[in-house]
């Protein structure tokens, strides 16, 4: 079993819809949770960074962590075609190597 | 803004060649990482370094080595390139906050 599991998709939604991206993890010691956006042939770009359980909002993006169920979510409101990318979740214990999900490919249809 | 740069965006090499991939970060980060990314396999950690001249093996170190002579620079070396090392190589760094920042990647093709 992988330490971080992510549905690879692909996921297609119409422009303006709310997108929900999810990951589960197995290591209860993980404390830090990140979401990255990766456009084709580019490096991953850090979108959201959260510590422990709770919600964090940044513009149209909300990251949610539920440590009791080991569930990580990213919500995108008012989705735009420019949000079309692969989204990667990642976790670690602190200031060291990350464990990544395999990524979900998202397409926003105009 | 954190800046992580990689020496090449695209590289084509022949089997058996020695390949150097260079990474530089400008934020005085302690930790640096090399990953490879392949379809269906996601990001896999090759090597990482916590300090100058320090290195730790990641999940798939076979066929690779690294060098960190200066804090800002972390090099990945393929001693004798093979076709199964054709991949996207990504360098990353993080500081004390743990947020990890990536470079643009090097797409390496080994013929």
**Residue B2 pLDDT exceeds 70:** no
For CA atoms B38, B42, B44, B48, give the dihedral sign: positive
Chain A hits for B4, CB-CB cut-off 8 Å, are 43
What's the confidence (pLDDT) of residue A95?
Answer: 63
Q: What is the dihedral of CA A4, B6, B60, A106, to 10 degrees?
A: 30
Q: Which tens digits make up the pLDDT trace of B13-67?
A: 999 999 999 999 998 999 999 999 998 888 999 999 999 999 999 999 999 999 9
pLDDT number for residue B81: 97
Residues lower than pLDDT 50 in chain A: none
Q: Cα distance from B56 to chain A (closest Cα, Å)?
A: 11
State the pLDDT confidence band at B95, using cuts at 50, 70 and 90.
Answer: confident
Cα A109 to Cα B82: distance, rounded to the nearest angstrom: 40
Give the mean pLDDT of B82-93.
97
Nearest Cα of chain B lies from the Cα of A44 at a distance, in angstroms, of 6
B-chain CB neighbours of A49 within 8 Å are: 97-99
How far apart, in whole angstroms, are the C-alpha atoms of residue A15 and residue A107?
Answer: 9
Q: Which residues of A touch B48 (CB under 8 A)?
A: 96-97
Q: What is the pLDDT of residue B42?
A: 86
Q: Which residues of A touch B42 (CB under 8 A)?
A: 88, 100-103
Contact B89, B78 (CB under 8 A): no
Cβ contact B107–A100 (<8 Å): no
A49 inside 8 A of chain B by CB: yes
pLDDT digits (tens, 9 = 90+) for B64-79: 999 999 999 999 999 9
């Amino acid at each position: 079993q992988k330490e971080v599991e992510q549905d690879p998709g692909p996921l297609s939604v119409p422009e303006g819809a709310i997108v929900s991206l999810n990951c589960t993890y197995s290591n209860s010691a993980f404390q830090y949770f990140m979401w990255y956006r990766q456009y084709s042939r580019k490096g991953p770009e850090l979108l959201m960074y959260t510590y422990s359980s709770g919600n964090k909002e940044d513009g149209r993006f909300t990251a949610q962590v539920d440590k009791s169920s080991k569930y990580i979510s990213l919500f995108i409101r008012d989705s735009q075609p420019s949000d079309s990318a692969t989204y990667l979740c990642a976790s670690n214990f602190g200031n060291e190597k990350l464990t990544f999900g395999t990524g979900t490919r998202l397409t926003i249809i105009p | 803004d954190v800046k992580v740069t990689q020496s090449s965006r695209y590289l084509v090499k022949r089997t058996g060649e020695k390949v150097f991939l260079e990474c530089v970060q400008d934020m005085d980060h302690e930790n640096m990482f090399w990953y490879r990314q392949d379809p269906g396999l996601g990001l896999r950690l090759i090597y990482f370094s916590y300090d100058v001249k320090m290195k730790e093996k990641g999940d798939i170190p076979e066929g690779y080595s690294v060098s960190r002579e200066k804090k800002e620079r972390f090099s990945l070396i393929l001693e004798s390139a093979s076709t199964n090392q054709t991949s996207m190589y990504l360098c990353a760094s993080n500081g004390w906050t743990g947020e990890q920042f990536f470079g643009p990647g090097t797409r390496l093709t080994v013929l």
